[in-house]
Structure formats: structure tokens, C-alpha cells
Amino acid sequence: MHQEHIVFILLIITIILLILKLFIQSKKLHKLSSQFDEIKNQTKLNEKSVKTETYLSRFLPKIEYEEVKISSEESHPINKKTIELDVVDDKKIQANNTKSILENLLNAGIECKHECGGNARCSTCRIIVLEGIENCLPRNLAETELAKKKSFSEEIRLACQTYSSGNLKLRRLVLDKQDIETAVNEGVAHNAIPKREEKLAILFCDIRSFTNFSEKNYPYDVIHMLNRYFNEIGKEIDENSGYIDKYMGDGIMVLFGLNPKKGNPSVHAIQAGLGILNSLENINSYLRKNFHIEFKIGIGIDYGNVLIGEIGYKLKMQFTAIGDTVNMASRIEGMTKKTHSNFLISDSTYQSVKDLGLFEFGKKFRTEIRGKSGLYVLHEVLQKSGN
């Protein structure tokens, strides 16, 4: 073979090797960049939940869990006796008080999830004690730790750690594969938020004819104005210990009274509502100057029982309140336009503040409310007393 041929072949081999090397490197780079994106997204997600938690934690009272150190005698009864366990949705069984609730259920052929094998790690054996909680022996240290992490209320117990000296009526809380996943993941990202019933004041506030404004202006201006508006009214909400639950376009839902130690929720909500109405002038003077329009808003408040807790898909859990009081507050806000009033409150809200002499009220409406039967009394809020 000629020398030129050998040189040519070597050159071709070198080029192929070079191309191969470049190809492998580009693959590696691609992999690295997607890993980086993933880390970035995860960080964003974590930052988001930390931020949410920090904001929310300002409003929730801390639940104190007694760090009881109990002897095995206190957590495991020695004197054997028969007790009755009434398992809702299954059967009543005669049980042995020296065995845990979980052991008793399993011995009686009642299914009770126990993913960690009864070691106080998974919480899938959780039960709610409907009657006889006073018969349950105190939580041991392992159960106390897990209850704290999962924010369990007093009546939620781990069947694998709980012994009872008397009869109980109970319900199992983890029933299928999806329940197991939810139970195990709960409290992993950050401390779980308690699920409970609370008496709160719920405020809804909405900009009237906002669609009109958004249709006639550039997206930049619409978002900018909304942020200016929320920033302005947010200060009033903040000053009155209101928790901004969510934004719904130009609407906002706010909870008052998450921390019962902070005073009358209705007073805070009404004060915030009046503050919002006053602060509207700041936004409107800007709007008049730059857009030749002004915002008109409606505010509605109801006061009553709601359920609070985190709901949603595991990657996007959201703390919120649900219940009739929430629906009612939204409907009351909807009535402001019809009654030509800026600010209406329900009768229960009115009753909780009327004797305090803090506010002046205007017209009283006896009206039907969409989606509700019967007539409801609504009160117009005018201003703080003495203004």
C-alpha cells in the first residue's frame, strides 16, 4: 500500500473518532442540562412551599404536643380485661386490652393498613376515635413524634401504638392504595397543616367590570394594574391579620380568625374591608390619570364555621377553607352590584360586632341569594364609628 493511502486512511479514522467524541460530549451536555433544569425546578418548588409555609405560619396558632415520657406500664395495660371495639363500616369486636388496637383488629380479621409493620413510622394505621377517647392510654414517645409531624388532633391515633382501657368506637382512615400514598407523603415537604373546623370571617372582594378593562388594554397594563391593586389592598388585609387564601383573576378571598388569639375575626374583616375601600382612591387616581377610568369594587363578608386544611395534588397542595360560609361570602359579594352597595355583610357577621359600637351600618336588605332557599338579611357597612 502506498504511503499516501495509509495517511489517508489514518486521517479518515481520526475524523470519525473526533465526530464520535463530539457526539458523546453533546449527549452528556444535554443530560447535564436537563438534570440542571430538574434541580432548578425542584428548588423553585421547594422555595415556593417554604414561602407559602412562612406566610401561612404567621396566621396559624402553634399546636403544643405534650412530650409525655410514659413508662411501659402506663402505655401497656397489665391487668387483662375484655373491651369492645366498635369499628364503623365493619363490625363490633371483643378485644384484649393488653394488645394494641391494630393487633386486635387484625386478630379479628378486620383489615387495617400497617405499611411499616406497626413501628410508628408510616401512619397508615391511623384511626379516628369517635367515642371513648378518654379510655385511650396516652401517646407514647414514638406516636407523639409522628402525630406532631402529621399535625394529628387528639382523636386521631395510631392503631399500632394505641392501647385502650375501655370501649371505643372508631373508624379507619386509610382504606386504599391512594390513601396510603397520601398518608405517607403528608408532612414530608414541611410540617403538615392541621385539618380542623374553625369559625372564621371570610371576605370576598371583586373589581366590577374588570373584563371590560382587560379587553381594552395591553396584557402588560392589565397585569401591572392588578398587581398595583393587590399590593395596595394587601396592606390593609395584612394590617388586620387577614390571610390571603387565593386570587381569582381580579377577585380575592381572605380568611380572618385563623389564630383565635388575635381577636374578633369579624372586626378584623370589616376593618380590612373599609381599609380596602379607602385605599381604592390611590389606585383610582393613577387609573384616571393614565387610563381615564376608575375601578369600582364590591366586598362581601360572612362569618361561620368552615373546614380548613391542605387540599390538592401532592405537588401543588394548597391551604384553604371550604364550606357554606365560603360560598355565602362569595354570593354576598355578588349581591353588592344588585343592591348598589360597595360593602355588604351577612347577619351572622353583623350579630358578632353590632354591640361593639365600632362601625356604622346603612341599609338592611332582606333578599334571596342565588343558589340558596329562603330570604337572607344583609347589612351595608358604611364606615368606622365616629368618622
Interface residues toward ligand FES, by CB under 6 A:
114-116, 118-125, 158, 160
Amino acid (1-letter code) at residue 170: L
Contacts of 130 (CB under 8 A, 6+ apart): 88, 155, 169, 170, 171
Kindly list the distances between the CA atom of residue 240 and the CA atoms of 229, 235, 256, 268, 349, in Å, as whole numbers in the listed order. Answer: 17, 9, 8, 5, 16
Kindly list the distances between the CA atom of residue 384 and the CA atoms of 230, 232, 263, in Å, as whole numbers in the listed order. Answer: 23, 20, 17
State the minimum distance, in angstroms, from the CB of residue 82 to ligand FES: 23
Region for residue 374 given its phi and psi (left: phi exceeds 0; alpha: psi -120 to 50; beta: otherwise): left
Contacts of 82 (CB under 8 A, 6+ apart): 94, 95, 96, 97
Q: What cell does 350 get?
A: 353583623
- Output 60 or 70, the one with its CB closest to ligand FES: 70
State the minimum distance, in angstroms, from the CB of residue 150 to ligand FES: 10
Distance CA 237, CA 246 (A): 13
- Output 118 or 194, the one with its CB closest to ligand FES: 118
State the minimum distance, in angstroms, from the CB of residue 115 to ligand FES: 6
What residue ranges in 88-163 does DSSP mark as E strands?
Answer: 92-96, 126-131, 156-158
- Output 122 or 299, the one with its CB closest to ligand FES: 122
Reported residue count of the chain is 387
Do 59 and 254 form a contact (C-beta atoms < 8 A)? Answer: no
State the minimum distance, in angstroms, from the CB of residue 125 to ligand FES: 3
State the minimum distance, in angstroms, from the CB of residue 116 to ligand FES: 4
- Output 162 or 264, the one with its CB closest to ligand FES: 162
State the minimum distance, in angstroms, from the CB of residue 328 to ligand FES: 39
- Output 140 or 336, the one with its CB closest to ligand FES: 140
Q: What cell does 237 get?
A: 388585609
- Output 158 or 301, the one with its CB closest to ligand FES: 158
State the minimum distance, in angstroms, from the CB of residue 124 to ligand FES: 6
- Output 60 or 180, the one with its CB closest to ligand FES: 180
